[in-house]
A and B are shown apart, each in its own frame.
Chain A
Amino acid sequence: MKKLIIILISCILLLSGCWDTREFKEVKLGITAAYDMTEDGVYKNTILIPNVQNSAQGPGKESTQFLTATGNTPSEARTNIDRRLSSTYSPAQLDVLLFGSNLAKQDIYPYVDAYYRDPRMHLDVVPAVVKGSAEQALKVVPKSELRPSEYIEGILDSEVDTTNSFESSLQAIGSELYEEGEDFALPLLQVGDGGKTVSYDGLALFHKSSYTGKDIAFEHTTLFLLMKKQKGKVARITAKIFDGKNPEPVNYTTINIEDFSSKIKSRPDKQNKVRTDIKLDLTVMIQEYPQDHLSLNELPKVKKKLEQALTDQANETISTIQEANSDVFGIGRSIYGHYPSYWKKLDWEKDFKEIEIVPHINVNIRSRGIFR
């Protein structure tokens, strides 16, 4: 009798454990997923699944599989994908989540909701917005890439290093999705070359959980990110510092930011309700100066011109942000934190457009080239 009980108890343990097994080889892992909204208002979900041929000498060549399905809810679309697969579809290893701009303009929260709730999902997935159809971007598979499934992820990662994009993930934007007083921006992609490549196109500005339709252009992202206190491994800015010189390239210079400090200070202001000063100190190296030598006595002039050009750029960016009503600097949150009673009087939804944001950019030229 005792033996029987022991055997039964161990069976309960062992067999119930076996039931929960999810074998890696019996799962189809989606690496990139794209969400679109069709013209009929139905969700369209496309996923990319990499398949690897087995071979004794290491992993073989990777082939990609695309599956598209529609559904009235995101979950239905996913179920419809699963129906066509030989094994279970698992989004647990998803790297990139693409939203078509049409869909993003409505609301992205219903799609990402499931990722926050399911403990098996990984929150490190990078959300991005695609101008036009996300499905189209997903299906771009350049032949030269060794691992086509990592193409889009690679684009986003490399832009982080050059301070054109920042490391975003579902985890990072989690609180900003719904919280008042701070908004977020997502990388913006565009299909180019007649559908052969995907290119990074700047940052898409969000308000709450929907895309405003306004972007920070690629040329302005570096300065914007520096103001936001984020810098990748390198940061380069090309600025127009002269006018009317011939040939045209002579008007430009490229600087390499070696060090920076950024301070964003917001305080209540009678005139504009809130005044924000962004103080950005840049220590730079002049990397390219097409006008031949940059002599020492010309330096103060160049510095002044640079500061002017950068401030213009910053003002342009700020006006875009305010137009978009996307508080990416988190000014609202800062006011809420420091002046809670004042915050209650504000209607941030309207007032953000009215506030004054002033950039103060100070450039310190450390060197004029590789040797000097």
Chain B
Amino acid sequence: MGFFKQKKNQPVQEKVIREDKMPPHQSTASLEKNIQYMKEELRNSTDLKIRLLPGNKQALVYLDDITDPDKMQRYIFEPLLKTDGDIKKIKDREENDDLNKAVSSLLAGKAVYMIEGNATFYLFNVQQNVTRAITEPVNEKVIKGSHDGFNEDIKQNINLIRRRIQHRSLTIKKLTVGDYTESEIALVYVEGIVNPGVVKELEKRVKNISNDSLLSAGAFSEYIEDRTYSIFPQFLSTERPDKTVSQLMEGRIAILFANNPTCLIAPVTFYAFYQSPDDYNTRWLVATYLRFIRLFSFILAITLPSFYIAVVGFHFEVIPEALISPVLGSIRDIAYPPIVEAILMVIVIELIRESGIRLPSPIGSTIGIVGGLVIGDAIVTAGLVSNLMVIVIALTSLASFVVPSNEMSDSLRILTFPLIILSSVLGFIGIAFGLLMVLIHLCRVESLGLSYFTPIQFRDLKDTIIRVPQFLMKRRPEQLASPRPYKSNELSDEND
């Protein structure tokens, strides 16, 4: 393929060394030289503070903006007063004589205490913690159930999970990604439930990421996804600890990120995107009904506009007799072919949605009214779009918002377009081709090596298309190949 030809004259660049892989640099006995070295290594940043203590024989070095003055007072100066200035008597200190280590520690929010004539220096953790309160994630609200959510502090997030699974087999593996950013990520899983092969595979993929920075969970998933070019998300992202924990107990792996409230869950199947924590909190019959509504909305979201276009463009024979006059009356005077109508209307809705997202909520709702009512009404009166098409597109976008997962909802709305084009060109057969391609693609996609569209077998249907009562769900999903296939110690399988 000639589309992605690489340029021949690639620029040359130096290799950057990660902070934790810096070669050691032995500190000297001279206080001034040590400080000079650190200053240079930190590119003379102005937030590097050097506090010389009385007598100019000792210095405390720290980065002003990420340290907490209160902690410094409590952990360094108050103990110093008690021990008459003898630093070696203070507990909670680290000793080291590698200046590069000192620089890394400074970046992590530690203070370095140095003494003239002594090559060893002391490190104190005085990092300032900036955390947001635990709030319910805005895009994953539930009616019943726990209302806490992850925030930007990875420690707190792990805390939320540990509190829910109090067992020694809950494993947390921390790794760092990004040569400059050194972003911390944590793989969380329950040993004994998770398939060890999957963990190994995930670790291998994470270790292979080579980039200067890791900015978001979405970017991360693009590095380790099985099929990056697929339209379907292969990692379930959530900000809810209860959802995360229920997935961990199924035998999946959660990936937490420092400074990011999003948690990625893998390996997942297509149906995981249609499950909501609400399902497990309501009556099972109600939950099943809601599952049906959601799956129906999936079909509606991708096929309704294309179906309508195919009917009025190719196969008007299928319109029921009673609908002929209403349909005819509504579309007869429209100037454009149905595909133009559809695309026009989809663009209008996307504009309303996109402009509504970033506006503050009081204006956002106004935009909804202006966009929805005024444009919707005027566009029909003006004869640009038929009122049937308005109904079709409005229903379609409503259906796409029913999906509990945001990224799946976005995927669905994109998926509508190829089907609209196919149906306006080939009619029903175009839709058939399109859906077939989607189906084939879904069957080929894998999430961490496990197939994405698996549970089309009765036993796994219990928690996908329907949700049966808890006591009937005795097994973990088959395709995860969990070493602990049953959910309880009693290995009864009578009802299967």
Please report A residues at the B interface, Cβ cutoff 8 Å.
Answer: 2-3, 13-14, 17-18, 20-25, 27, 29, 31, 50, 52-56, 58-60, 62, 90, 92-93, 95, 120, 122, 147, 149-150, 153
Contact = CB atoms under 8 A, between A and B. Distances in A.
B316 A92 contact: yes
Given A13-B426, A23-B338, 12 more contacts: A17-B427, A18-B425, A21-B314, A21-B424, A22-B314, A23-B337, A24-B331, A25-B312, A25-B331, A31-B324, A54-B332, A59-B330
A93 B317 CA distance: 6
Interface in B312-365: 312-314, 316-317, 319, 321, 324-334, 337-338
A25 B332 contact: yes
Contact of B325 (A3, A59, A90): A59
Contacts of B421: 14
Task: State the 10 A-B residue pairs at the shortest beta-carbon distance, nearest first.
Answer: A17-B425, A59-B329, A52-B329, A24-B316, A24-B312, A17-B426, A59-B326, A54-B333, A92-B317, A52-B325
20 contacts: A2-B1, A3-B3, A17-B426, A20-B427, A21-B424, A23-B313, A23-B338, A24-B316, A25-B312, A25-B334, A50-B328, A52-B325, A52-B326, A53-B329, A54-B329, A58-B329, A60-B329, A62-B325, A90-B316, A95-B321
Contact of A14 (B312, B331, B425): B425
A90 B380 CA distance: 27
B96 interface: no
Nearest to A28: B328
B387 interface: yes
Contact of A147 (B325, B377, B380): B325
Name which of A2, A14, A21, A31 has the most chain B CB atoms within 10 A of its CB: A21
Contacts of A120: 317
Interface residues of B, number: 35
Interface of B is mostly: helix
B391 to A, nearest CB: 12
B11 interface: no
A147 B326 CA distance: 11
Interface of B: 1-3, 311-314, 316-317, 319, 321, 324-334, 337-338, 377, 380-381, 383, 387, 421, 424-427, 430
Contact of A52 (B316, B332, B337, B387): B332
A113 to B, nearest CB: 19
Nearest to A52: B329
B96 to A, nearest CB: 60
A2 B2 contact: yes
Contacts of B383: 54
Contacts of A90: 316
A364 B495 CA distance: 51
Name which of B1, B313, B430 has the most chain A CB atoms within 10 A of its CB: B313
Contacts of B311: 24
Contact of A93 (B2, B316, B380): B316
Contacts of B317: 92-93, 120, 122
Contacts of B424: 18, 21
B381 A56 contact: yes
